Chains A and B, each alone.
Chain A
Amino acid sequence: MYQFEYHRPKTLDEVTALLARLESPKILAGGMTLLATMKQRLAAPSDLIDLQDVTGIAGISVDAKNVTIGAMTCHHDVASSKDVAKAIPALAYLAGRIGDPLVRHRGTIGGSIANNDPSADYPAACLGLGATIVTNSREIPADDYFRGMFETALKENEIIVKIVFPIPQGAAYQKFPNPASRYAMVGVFVAKTAAGVRVAVTGAGPGVFRMTAMETALAKNFSAAAIDGITAPVEEMLQDMHASSEYRAALTSVMAKRAVAGVSA
Chain B
Amino acid sequence: MTVVAMQVNGKQVSADVEPRTLLVHYLRENLQLTGTHVGCDTSQCGACVVHVDGKAVKSCTVLAMQAAGALVRTIEGLADGDKLHPVQEAFKEHHGLQCGFCTPGMIMTAVDMLRRIPKPDETTIRHELEGNFCRCTGYHNIVKAIKAASEVL
Contacts and interface: CB of A to CB of B under 8 A. Distances in A.
Whether the complex brings A and B within 8 Å at their CB atoms is answered yes
A102 B110 CA distance: 11
A216 interface: no
B138 interface: no
B32 interface: no
A169 interface: no
Interface in B75-132: 109, 112-113, 116, 128, 130-132
Contacts, number: 79
B19 A4 contact: yes
Interface in A13-52: 28, 31-32, 35-36, 39-40, 48, 50, 52
A147 interface: no
Contacts of A3: 18-20
A52 B43 contact: no
Sort chain B's interface into a size bin.
Answer: 20 to 34
Chain A residues touching B, majority SS? loop
B9 interface: no
B52 to A, nearest CB: 8
B130 A6 contact: no
A102 B20 contact: no
Contacts of A5: 19
Contact of A35 (B46, B62, B130): B62
B131 A101 contact: yes
B130 A182 contact: yes
Contacts of B27: none
A6 B43 contact: no
B1 to A, nearest CB: 11
B12 interface: no
Interface string A44-67: 000010101000000000000000
B56 A105 contact: yes
A54 to B, nearest CB: 13
Contacts of A31: 61-63, 66
Nearest to A31: B61
Interface in B30-82: 41-44, 46, 49, 55-58, 60-63, 65-66, 68
Contact of B66 (A52, A80, A99, A182): A52
A102 B44 CA distance: 10
A210 interface: no
A102 B109 contact: yes
Nearest to A103: B131
Per CB-CB distance, the 9 closest pairs between chain A and chain B, nearest first, are A100-B131, A100-B130, A6-B19, A1-B20, A105-B55, A102-B131, A6-B65, A36-B43, A102-B58
Interface of A: 1-6, 8, 28, 31-32, 35-36, 39-40, 48, 50, 52, 76, 80, 99-103, 105-106, 181-182
